[in-house]
Structure 1
């Protein structure tokens, strides 16, 4: 493949991160899902929520189905830039790409369950609908831990990069480490209905959501910068090779 075409593909893949951010934000806004449900809600509360937001929830899931494929080029280009740090495919870049490919399951499966509940709420008993909304919230918040190794591998790669011009700045490495830490409390939503570790709590939901949105903007921005540096680096190497060839008798 021509180098220029390859770099365009990398830039397009980095822009997929912004597409995902806007798409996710639009989907969850339309579905009234930005604010978490109350873990202590009753069966009637679940029915009312699904009935009042039926169109929004189904529209949100449709948007997410369209958005999820953009995750894959975004994940791959992230590992391609990490590969430059490792000097080839290594443990960190491979861990990131493999966990990143699995990560959309954390969004899609819970939403599929919620859409099934909202699709025909009149056909199910309130208790069944309550169980389905519980499943959505428990999976959506509780499964956040699947991102931990992904972001930690990115963060560690950024921190060990000793280039004069690092691929990613060190603060981005620490952002990934912190994000991985704040995702861990999601595992405790299965044990709590109230408090900071409930699925609407500060530790399980609020802090991870803030950190994730910061990460979702910072990552494609820094990927575009890294790709620009790679392009300039390659151009410099080619210029050096041409000078060497001209100087050779």
Structure 2
């Protein structure tokens, strides 16, 4: 009796899945791209909710930092959850980029693997600040410990440029290596992925500055990387959407065979 019930349920679900036409390659890649967009949006909303866009000044003392988080307790708790979720949502984004790079003729698989590995490493640098901000919301640790947790959180958020650097330059190499008549990605996107990591590296010295453009809330260490990262992500979304919508790049090379 139980076996017949399970088999009937299995057949019913199978018919629904087949008839719905929902579980296709194209729809899955749309979901992965939406996941990346939501990851960036959640990270932005998290920073806003804890009063950290732009980040609180690194020159603040323990009393100012402590008072800030006391005044943003609900926002800090929400920011912790959003950052953790944003980290998880970044994984499908890296996977869909890697898959589209694999469609470049004669691409070295190492390039695709390295891009995906860099994306996976980024996940932890997105999630860890979320756990730290959750700690601030979880319990009153006093002035100095709260200052320590806040400092390490912002250093991780702003200083995580090396993984984006590897990811960007890997994508750029893949794009420049595409010599086909109708390349998967425009060379302009490759150039942007080449330049953006250089801008991201402006944050390399944020642990040495409390004031000015090189501090973690400064023009060069924060605003420039944010602007370039936003434009880079937008360009990647546009190009990948174009690839997903097109079944054929040219008369011979099929992008998505399963529809």
| TM-score, normalised relative to structure 1 | 0.85
Match in the other structure for 2:189: 172
**Of the candidates 245, 248, 258, which is equivalent to residue 232 of structure 1?**
248
Q: Select which of 154, 161, 164 maps to 2:171.
A: 154
Change (3 A) 1:237 1:138: closer
Structure-2 change in CA distance of 1:87 and 1:10 (3 Å): farther
1:53-83, Cα deviation, whole Å (9 max, x unpaired): 1100111221233333221111111011111
Aligned to 1:187: 204
Please list, as runs of the form range in 1=range in 2, the aligned pairs for 1:121-136 lying within 5 A after superposition: 121=140, 124-136=141-153
User: Given that residues 47 and 129 in structure 1 are in contact (C-alpha distance below 8 angstroms), is that contact kept between their aligned partners in structure 2?
Assistant: yes
Give the match for residue 30 of structure 2.
11
Count of aligned pairs: 233
CA distance in 2, matches of 1:185, 1:73: 28
Which structure 1 segments of 5+ residues have no match? 239-249
Q: Is the partner of 1:104 in helix, strand or coil? A: helix
In structure 1, C-alpha distance between the alignment counterparts of 2:24 and 2:30, rounded to whole Å: 10
Does the 8 Å contact 2:175/2:185 carry over to 1?
A: yes
Which residue of structure 1 lines up, in the alignment, with residue 82 of structure 2?
A: 63
The structure that is helix-richer by fraction is 1
1:176 Cα offset (Å): 1.0
2:7 is matched with which residue?
none
Instruction: Compare 95-104 and 79-88 and name the one that shifted more.
Output: 79-88
Q: Does the C-alpha gap of structure 1 residues 65 and 111 become closer, same or farther in structure 2, counting only changes over 3 Å?
A: closer
Q: Compute the TM-score of the two structures, normalised by the length of structure 2.
A: 0.82
Gaps of 5+ in 2: 1-17, 255-259
Aligned pair partner of 1:206 in 200, 213, 223: 223
1:130 to partner: Cα distance: 1.2
Asked if residue 115 in structure 1 is aligned to residue 134 in structure 2, the reply is yes
1: distance between equivalents of 2:222 and 2:38?
A: 23
Deviation at 1:125, TM superposition (A): 2.4
1:28 partnered with 2:72? no
- Identify the residue that residue 62 of structure 2 maps to in structure 1: 43
Q: CA deviation at 1:44?
A: 0.7
**Pair 235,17 (structure 1): closer, same or farther in 2 beyond 3 Å:** farther
Q: CA deviation at 1:215?
A: 2.0
CA–CA distance in structure 2, aligned partners of residues 235 and 86 of structure 1: 14
Is the 2:79–2:133 Cα contact (8 Å) retained in structure 1?
A: no
Q: Distance in 2 between matches of 1:218 and 1:197?
A: 27
Q: Is the 8 A contact 1:141 1:186 kept in 2?
A: yes
SS at structure 2 position matched to 1:195: coil
